Chain A
Amino acid sequence: MKNIIIVAGFLAFGGGAFAQDIPKADPATVEKYVQSMWSKASPEWQARVKLDETQRICSETSNTPSQAQFDAILAREKANVTYPADGNVMGDWKRGMVVAQRGTGGQFSDAPGTYQGGNCFACHELTKEEVSYGTLGPSLLGYGKIRKFEPAEAKAAFAKIYNPHAVFPCSQMPRFGHTKFLTEEQIKDAVALLFSPDSPVNK
């Protein structure tokens, strides 16, 4: 039965077709390819590329979850945001600049213990001085100033950096806190970069 559907799909998939016309692969088949692609990786590395429920839905829907899936992701990811115990979400903006500039860490070519950065500049414009910024995410120029340096907004930014799906399901931004790629300290420093009145972000 399934085979018939696939063949029919391919017949419709003619010359100048669109990527979305490619018939969907059975997820179990996809995972077999995934396993063979990383069959020689260590167990820790293999564990890193197993899908959690949020990744699975965002992958299978090409980041366009249904309303029910959207709501489920939001609820699940919100529940795992852990705020600092003392309620203070602001660290040191100068250290936050290091977090934002550095994109090292976590690659198979990195030596163990390599500093892990947030690489915010890879995707965001943050300051007027840094012209080497990417455009996958929106400009964050003047981010805190525009939000009148409101403590509630700073707290929301902490949550956003900790887990962007807790705000916008299937966001393209990494879940820096949830996956422990950044420490709580580093996330506080990044919040300070966005919300300190003397940070170059707000100049």
Chain B
Amino acid sequence: MKRLSVAILATAIGFGAAGIALGQSESEKEIERYREMINDPMANPGYLWVDKGEALWSEKRGSKSASLETCDLGKGPGNVEGAFAEMPRYFADADRVMDLEQRLLWCMDKIQGVDTADVVKRRFGGPGVESDLQALVAFIANKSNGMSYKLPLAHAKEQEMLSVGKALFDRRAGQMDFACATCHAEEGKRIRLQGLPDFSKPGKEARMTMDSWPTYRVSQSQLRTMQHRLWDCYRQMRHPVPEYGSDGITALTSYLVKMAEGGEINVPSIKR
């Protein structure tokens, strides 16, 4: 029954995209409905990815026929509790700062001997394409629910990530001279009727956003991660396709996580 209401919502939103603008109160009601569904695994389709991710985490795969259960996400081998809240972070074994998705690829390669080129090819799920990464991120991020982001900054490379992230946030380029800051540096602004969260300073808008990613996108019928969101923002910016799991995306993620400290993670959420 509740699943049904998701389908109905998806249809209503499809119409919105076709040009019938929802009134302000209508879209607020819609957000309120999503909020109610978030914590109910029966009503929130994002939990399908959480479940699949949990199964993938313990499944023996790859040339080494190993599971990911010895993968160290920063809290010790196999410990997923609270790991997402403290990423991106520096990993000594790789001598790199990694976000969760980069780290998962690293573990798949080193621990499992999985063909990561194939995993990356399926990074964004869609009709006929199942993404392992979306599922694993949903499962692991969900294990930080109720916690606050705390960006590790003890290592010089973590500090560099954050500084570069801020610079990339302000970097204007392309035919439109757009930076993230063009659209996300003032409160209360919108593009057409679309509200734009302000990420230029730490606070409520950054928290509300980052505390709700990964999210189930009703319009795409997929669980989406920050890699996908930033891919989409770079598309709107008329920039080239950003490489999945590249350090630029990780730097931006470090910056966004820093701005979002102090909130409470509750994922997967549901968004239009």
Select A37's contact among B21, B236, B242, B255, beta carbons within 8 Å.
B242
Using A10-B153, A174-B176, A179-B175 as known contacts, say yes or no to A33 and B192 having CB atoms under 8 A apart.
no
Q: Are A36 and B243 in contact (CB under 8 A)?
A: yes
> Are the C-beta atoms of A136 and B163 separated by less than 8 Å?
no
Alpha-carbon gap, A134 to B189, bound state (A)? 7
B9 within 8 A of A: no
Among A48-56, A79-87, A150-158, the one that faces the other chain is A48-56
Distance of A189 Cα from B209 Cα, bound (Å): 39
Interface residues of B in 152-168 (CB under 8 A from A): 153, 156, 159-160, 162-164, 166-168
Chain A contacts for B251, CB-based, 8 A: 33
Q: Are A174 and B178 in contact (CB under 8 A)?
A: yes
Is A49 a contact partner of B166 (Cβ separation < 8 A)?
A: no
Q: B52: CB under 8 A from chain A?
A: no
B166 touches A22 (CB 8 A): yes
Asked if A17 and B193 sit within 8 Å, CB to CB, the answer is: no
Interface string of A1-29 (1 = CB under 8 A from B): 00100110010010111110011110101
Q: Are B175 and A48 in contact (CB under 8 A)?
A: yes
Asked if residues B190 and A135 are in contact (CB atoms below 8 Å), the reply is yes
Q: Which residues of A contact B178 (CB under 8 A)?
A: 174
| Nearest Cβ on chain A to B15's Cβ, whole angstroms | 14
Any A CB within 8 A of the CB of B179: yes
* Interface residue ranges of A148-198 to B (CB < 8 Å): 172, 174-175, 179-181
User: Which residues of chain A come closer than 8 Å to B202, judged between CB atoms?
Assistant: 16-19
B249 touching A37, Cβ below 8 Å: yes
Please, how many angstroms separate the alpha-carbon atoms of A10 and B162 in the complex? 10
Q: Is A40 an interface residue (CB 8 A)?
A: yes
Q: In the complex, what distance in Å separates the CA atom of A50 from the CA atom of B159?
A: 25
Tell whether, in the assembled complex, residue A132 and residue B243 are in contact, meaning their CB atoms are under 8 Å apart.
Answer: no
Instruction: Knowing A23-B159, A108-B235, A132-B21 are in contact, say whether A174-B164 is a contact too (CB < 8 A).
Output: no
| Chain B nearest Cβ from A100, distance in angstroms | 12
Output the nearest chain B residue to A49 by Cβ-Cβ distance: B173
Bound CA span A75–B139, Å: 54
For A174, the closest partner residue in chain B by CB is B176
Q: Are A106 and B201 neighbours in the complex by a CB distance under 8 Å?
A: no
Could you tell me if B171 and A134 are in contact, using CB atoms closer than 8 angstroms? no
Q: A6-B159, A18-B201 are in contact. Are A59 and B21 (CB under 8 A)?
A: no
Interface residue? A67 (CB, 8 A): no
Who on chain A is nearest to B177 by CB?
A174
- Collect the chain B residues with CB atoms within 8 Å of residue A24's CB: 163, 166-167
Q: How far is the CB of A89 from chain B (nearest CB, A)?
A: 22
A-B residue pairs in contact (CB < 8 Å), sample of 15: A13-B153, A18-B201, A22-B166, A23-B163, A25-B166, A25-B167, A30-B168, A38-B243, A48-B173, A49-B239, A60-B170, A107-B236, A108-B239, A131-B193, A136-B183
New contact pairs (6) apart from A22-B166, A62-B170, CB-CB < 8 Å: A24-B167, A30-B164, A33-B168, A37-B246, A39-B246, A59-B167
Interface residues of A (CB under 8 A from B): 3, 6-7, 10, 13, 15-19, 22-25, 27, 29-30, 33-34, 36-42, 45-46, 48-51, 55, 58-60, 62-63, 106-109, 121-123, 131-136, 172, 174-175, 179-181
Chain B contacts to A: CB under 8 angstroms:
21, 153, 156, 159-160, 162-164, 166-168, 170-179, 181-183, 188-194, 196, 200-202, 235-236, 238-243, 246-249, 251, 255, 258-259, 261-262
